[in-house]
């Protein structure tokens, strides 16, 4: 079992087993059902004492879902390619709240595959995210918290620039992104609005695959070679930045059974091109058919100056530099929440 597999298993067990039970104690001092009461003793003398249900400060929510789309052609005169696409996804939330503290923990994963007639099985989505934010406020009536935030983001399997499946362009922990910082957070629980601003956030980019690190992938310092192409110094497998992080998330029912979810993350580094902002914007609309069937449509827009777009023409790789990346999603499937 690899270290990565153990890491994922430990995280899943934490989120899936972290729950609290309610306690109720009933003590019967006397049972007067079949007992003839004595003189001067009322049947109401039977005493039942109970400790009220213990109220937990934790709330747990788990959402598991799968989306499937399929298209098949048999003797179709207009032509077409048969294809099937599947996606599994999950969101595990474990939140703590009392009068002065909040601690929100979230694990998100998605993995999708596509199979078209005449082509190999290809990956369409691959996400593993862990978010944890702790906040403390002095005034129970205030919506502002002093907060600390931790984010971790990587993937499960290798990624390729199809149809080339020989040389991966990404791997688990290559890249992986870690954000760790402190700041202020504004929370409106009823409106499901959350604003976070940190003037001091460390961003670490990990590229733990040496081949990708030697190429300078994802902004790390690449390897040094002499004039004959002999390796002099390996590429660095990590890069650390210090900058400003701002995030915004909200969820709202815009129409009956149509819920809009929005997440925006902005980051700029103090020391390297300050003011050049990295953007990660996700917007998703959930359309509820019933308690188990849902459709969703949305997009994910990403811009990071450390991520170059590589195109391959006639076997030659062309570096086009950083560009806006856009992914659009549309699916319908089953979802179970508990």
* Residues 271-310 pLDDT 10s: 888 889 999 999 999 998 888 999 989 999 999 988 877 7
Residues 6+ apart with CB under 8 A from 115: 83, 84, 85, 121, 122
Q: Is residue 42 part of a domain?
A: no
Q: Is residue 40 part of a domain?
A: no
| DSSP one-letter string for 268-295 | EESSSSTT--EEEEEEEEEEESSSSEEE
Residues in the chain: 338
SS3 299: strand
CATH number at residue 171: 2.40.230
d(CA 104, CA 97): 8
d(CA 18, CA 12): 10
Q: 25-54: string of b/e by CB count within 10 Å (b at 16+)?
A: eeeeeeeeeeeeeeeeeeeeeeeeeeeeee
Q: Is residue 41 part of a domain?
A: no
Q: Is residue 182 part of a domain?
A: yes
d(CA 42, CA 49): 18
Q: Is residue 68 part of a domain?
A: yes
Q: Is residue 269 part of a domain?
A: yes
d(CA 336, CA 141): 35
Give the closest residue to 265 by CA, choosing from 304, 207, 297. 304
Q: Is residue 89 part of a domain?
A: yes
Decide if 40 contacts 74 (C-beta within 8 A).
no
**Quick one: pLDDT at residue 14?**
55
User: Structural domain tally of the chain?
Assistant: 1
**Quick one: pLDDT at residue 95?**
95
Please give the backbone phi and psi of residue 5, each rounded to the nearest 5 degrees, phi first.
Answer: -65, -45
Expressed as residue numbers, the domain containing 234 is 56-337
Give the residue ranges of the chain where pLDDT is below 70. 1-54, 312, 314-316
Q: Is residue 20 part of a domain?
A: no
Q: Model pTM greater than 0.75?
A: yes
Please give the backbone phi and psi of residue 192, each rounded to the nearest 5 degrees, phi first.
Answer: 55, 45
């Amino acid at each position: 079992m690899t270290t990565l597999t153990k890491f994922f298993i430990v995280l899943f067990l934490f989120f899936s087993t972290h729950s609290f039970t309610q306690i109720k104690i009933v003590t019967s001092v006397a049972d007067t059902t079949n007992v003839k009461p004595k003189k001067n003793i009322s049947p109401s003398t039977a005493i039942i004492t109970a400790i009220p249900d213990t109220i937990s400060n934790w709330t747990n929510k788990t959402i598991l879902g799968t989306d499937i789309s399929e298209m098949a052609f048999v003797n179709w005169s207009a032509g077409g390619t048969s294809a099937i696409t599947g996606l599994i996804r999950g969101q595990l939330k474990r939140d703590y709240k009392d009068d002065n503290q909040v601690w929100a923990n979230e694990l998100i994963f998605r993995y999708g595959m596509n199979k078209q007639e005449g082509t190999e099985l290809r990956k369409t989505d691959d996400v593993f995210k862990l978010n944890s934010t702790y906040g403390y406020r002095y005034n129970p009536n205030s919506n502002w918290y002093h907060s600390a935030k931790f984010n971790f983001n990587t993937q499960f399997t290798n990624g390729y620039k199809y149809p080339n499946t020989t040389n991966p362009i990404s791997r688990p922990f290559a890249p992986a992104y870690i954000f760790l910082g402190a700041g202020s957070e504004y929370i409106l629980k009823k409106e499901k609005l959350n604003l976070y601003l940190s003037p001091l956030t460390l961003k670490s980019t990990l590229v733990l695959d040496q081949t990708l690190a030697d190429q300078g992938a994802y902004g790390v310092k690449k390897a040094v070679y002499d004039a004959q192409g002999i390796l002099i110094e390996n590429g660095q497998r990590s890069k650390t930045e210090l900058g400003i992080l701002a995030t915004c998330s909200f969820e709202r029912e815009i129409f009956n059974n149509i819920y809009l979810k929005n997440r925006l993350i902005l980051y700029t580094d103090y020391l390297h091109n300050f003011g050049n902002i990295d953007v990660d914007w996700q917007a998703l609309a959930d359309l509820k058919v019933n308690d188990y069937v849902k459709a969703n449509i949305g997009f994910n827009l990403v811009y990071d100056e450390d991520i170059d777009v590589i195109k391959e023409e006639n076997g030659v790789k062309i570096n086009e530099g950083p560009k806006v990346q856009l992914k659009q999603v549309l699916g319908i499937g089953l979802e179970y929440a508990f």
